[in-house]
Chains A and B, each alone.
Chain A
């Protein structure tokens, strides 16, 4: 069953084409990795899906219904959760309050139910011991976890992860991978942008590569990384080869 569908989406800023006729499908429960160099338009594409960015052309569909006219809050309530590349916790609030907010607003839970749901999410993301800490006092790993927790508390059916592993140590990446796998095991579809290609390749069902706003490859991870178009994109950086060699 197709959950998310992008149809020929184009986003321009003035003359600059940031997303160029991108079409993409994500099935229910599927884990799709998204790679591409800086400035390829990955985060902008997330914005198009979450509703922060309005595309000039093309359609965004969830369950076959077009989302184009809906804002980010409505899309969140329909089941699209998203994390920010640079974590943006609500300042002046505790970790628990941050997650509670998502549980009440995104998942529309009330009272005890919302508190219970928030507590469960904190447990799953390994934040329970930090629940009463002001969110702004968290380190990078904590903030990244909180981004995931907050998105998860909205009860998404589609989760958009924007470089949750960026800037973390290998051990921390491995921990976060465990969290992502557990989310996925519950049937939540995930699209995951990551620069650390190695983090993706063993976990994802499918890999897509975005370059200069175009989707240049879409398929099985190994096939995508050995695709000439992808190799050209990464020419000189060795990221892709590196990942393949390490398998």
Chain B
């Protein structure tokens, strides 16, 4: 039964990884941006929450209502200015700029918030759990995060397939030149995609900050898991990202079950195995 527990815990963790990864996947799929600052953006969201919310005397869950829209607007602005200017030069420039953003964010956060671990306290919800049987106990909060991840991914999927703006995003991702030729302003479309990516990374970062303690450099490890989820699932496939996150989460929990030191290693091994056998990921159908 301990193995069953590992799998169940892996699945709920996987939901969190997927929430983290979907913005990364979207930015790569639409703009071709490998956002090395993705993890750090999540950590900013957590810090913004602890900096803003206490002064408002609102419950901490209000962080979602406040921080996510700020990030969506911020995503649009950063894309239309800094990232677009980088893209206009070269993909390599963009990679370097993202890396630079990551370094700057970490150092500014260190300067402002120090290297002490912090967390977003949301009261008793975080400790509440329910038991399926004697060995399997699941925390309510991680189930909520999984549910949010599924809703977010489903929402992105519906947005892309059913709405006029979603179709526009797909068209620009598919052939930017042809999209411009039919009158599409691709820079605006890039801004929309970045807004969605930033909003989802804020969601992920806030959840992360509520689940665990974080420091200014926490973004780096979380970025690794996000990358692994995206690559395992296959780039450009929304549900693939969820499966990728779950596969990674389950692999890590099973690894930890064998030996607690093997948690990260097991995830990395599964990631390498997928890369070796299916370089485009489990559900990757086309190159982005």
Contacts and interface: CB of A to CB of B under 8 A. Distances in A.
A154 interface: yes
Chain A CB count within 10 A is highest, among B167, B174, B186, for: B167
A51 B184 CA distance: 13
B179 to A, nearest CB: 7
Interface string A60-104: 000000000001110011000010100011111100010011101
B171 interface: yes
A105 B170 contact: no
Interface in B125-181: 164, 167-168, 170-171, 174-175, 177-181
B165 to A, nearest CB: 10
Nearest to A73: B180
B167 A102 contact: no
B184 A105 contact: yes
B284 to A, nearest CB: 14
A101 B167 contact: yes
A90 B171 contact: yes
B171 to A, nearest CB: 5
A125 interface: no
Given A88-B178, A104-B164, A73 B171 contact: no
A73 B178 contact: no
A57 B171 CA distance: 32
A101 B181 CA distance: 11
Contacts of A102: 182-183
B175 A88 contact: yes
Nearest to A105: B183
B114 interface: no
A242 interface: no
B174 A106 contact: no
A150 interface: yes
Is the interface on chain A under 10, 10 to 19, 20 to 34, or 35 or more residues?
Answer: 20 to 34
Contact of B178 (A90, A97, A100, A104): A90
A120 B171 CA distance: 21
A153 interface: yes
Given A93-B167, A97-B167, A101-B168, A154 B183 contact: yes
A172 interface: no
A90 B170 contact: yes
Contact of A76 (B170, B175, B181, B286): B181
A72 B177 contact: yes
A220 B179 CA distance: 35
B185 interface: yes
A52 interface: yes
Interface in A107-155: 107-108, 114, 150-151, 153-154
Contacts of B170: 90, 92-93
A90 B184 contact: no
A50 interface: yes
Most buried by A among B182, B184, B186: B182
Given A90-B175, A91-B286, 15 more contacts: A52-B180, A73-B184, A73-B186, A76-B182, A77-B183, A84-B178, A84-B181, A90-B170, A90-B178, A93-B170, A101-B171, A102-B182, A104-B168, A105-B179, A108-B183
Interface of B: 164, 167-168, 170-171, 174-175, 177-186, 286
Of all A-B residue pairs in the complex, the 10 with the closest CB atoms, nearest first, are A106-B183, A102-B182, A105-B183, A76-B183, A72-B180, A88-B178, A105-B184, A73-B180, A90-B171, A106-B182
